[in-house]
Amino acid sequence: MKKGVLLINLGTPKTPTPADVRIYLKKFLSDPRVIDMPAWKWNPILNLAILPHRPEKSAKLYQTIWSEEHGSPLLYYTQRQKEMLQAELPDYVVRYAMSYSEPEIAEELLELEQMEVDNLTIIPLYPQYSTTTVGSVVDDINRFYMGRIKIPNLKIVTDFCDYLPYINALADKIKMAINEFQPDRLLFSYHGIPVSYVEKGDPYAERCKITTKLIMERLQNVPYTETFQSRFGPDKWLTPATDDTLRAFPNEGVKRVLVVAPSFVSDCLETLHELEIENQEYFMESGGTEFKMVPALNDDFAFTQVLKGLVLDQDTRVCCRT
């Protein structure tokens, strides 16, 4: 039996230019899992109100985080995660794919099929399940295998919000930052989703709470707040909002804040710009004195061990872990 692993992340523009950002945004914002609105209603908004203007603004943001050496941070760290996991699992074929950019999920699944991989573990790189992320990945996987003659022994890790190696890796990283920085408050900032998705049954908010609870059990006696970032559009999103919270902190006596974003396993636009630049400015302009980010797990060896454990766990279980 030939074994394989496919890591899947969100995606990234090919370059931080308006043209490439437009291609990326169009694919991302055309996903009905991301935008829960009838196409007849959403497409005119997307094509007439968003895509003519948003790519230029977003491109400028991407330019602030783009590395001359490595390009897109999210792509670079996903590649590193794949390379490091391959070194730890020499008997497996390890690949990576992106939902909304290259390499595409279908493209990588086809290559694994051609390599005759018949035991495949797929890990969407989203610790907390949401229909907007993992749900979309599963849609892509199902589309690929629909009608195919042979389907491998397929295992999808739909969530690892409470997986102890992941919890311990994050807790250790936060603990080190706390010891060095001595913050007044630890802020957990998760990517948000619209409240309407939660009302329809998306368990994402609860999965975030589980991660925070398990991490805090390992830290203890540290004041903390859990918030949600990256609001988009006029709909009501999960609260409290990260930006509003950071603006309010100084008036509450919180002048030194340490921020961690557990829903991101790779640093990206949302961590390196939205949090570390935009939200830091909100905090400092409101009277804060020191702001520090805990980097994502990125290419930490501890995260390689998390991924390795998830793969090996799947191979010792009859059913997928959920």
Q: What is the structure's pLDDT at 317? A: 59
How high does pLDDT run on average in the chain?
96
CA distance 163 to 123: 13
Residue-wise pLDDT for 158-189, tens only, equals: 999 999 999 999 999 999 999 999 999 999 99
pLDDT of 318 strictly over 60: no
Backbone angles phi, psi at 215, to 5 degrees: -65, -45
pLDDT of 19 strictly over 80: yes
CA distance 75 to 58: 17
C-alpha 284: how far from chain center: 26
What tokens appear for 178 in the block? Answer: 């706390």
Question: Nearest Cα to 307, choosing from 106, 114, 96, 10?
Answer: 96
**Other residues' Cβ atoms within 10 Å of the Cβ of residue 156:** 20
What tokens appear for 201 in the block? Answer: 């049954």
Residue-wise pLDDT for 100-126, tens only, equals: 999 999 999 999 999 999 999 999 999
Domains of the chain: 3-160+301-315 (3.40.50.1400), 164-293 (3.40.50.1400)
What tokens appear for 308 in the block? Answer: 């390795």
pLDDT of 14 strictly over 70: yes
Confidence at 74, pLDDT banded by 50, 70, 90: very high
Q: What is the structure's pLDDT at 1? A: 85
pLDDT of 265 strictly over 80: yes
Residue-wise pLDDT for 239-251, tens only, equals: 999 999 999 999 9
Span 79-94, mean pLDDT?
98
Residue-wise pLDDT for 210-236, tens only, equals: 999 999 999 988 999 999 999 988 899
pLDDT of 132 strictly over 80: yes
Helix (H) / strand (E) element for 227: namely: strand 224-229
Span 52-61, mean pLDDT?
97
Enumerate the H helices of the chain as residue ranges. 18-29, 39-44, 54-65, 73-88, 105-114, 136-145, 164-181, 195-199, 204-219, 242-248, 269, 280-285, 301-315
Query: Is the bond preceding 203 in cis, omega lying within 30 degrees of 0?
Result: no
Q: What is the structure's pLDDT at 315? A: 77
- Axis-axis angle for helices 54-65, 18-29 (nearest 10): 110
Span 252-281, mean pLDDT?
98
Instruction: Return the SS3 of 252.
Output: helix
Q: What is the structure's pLDDT at 222? A: 94
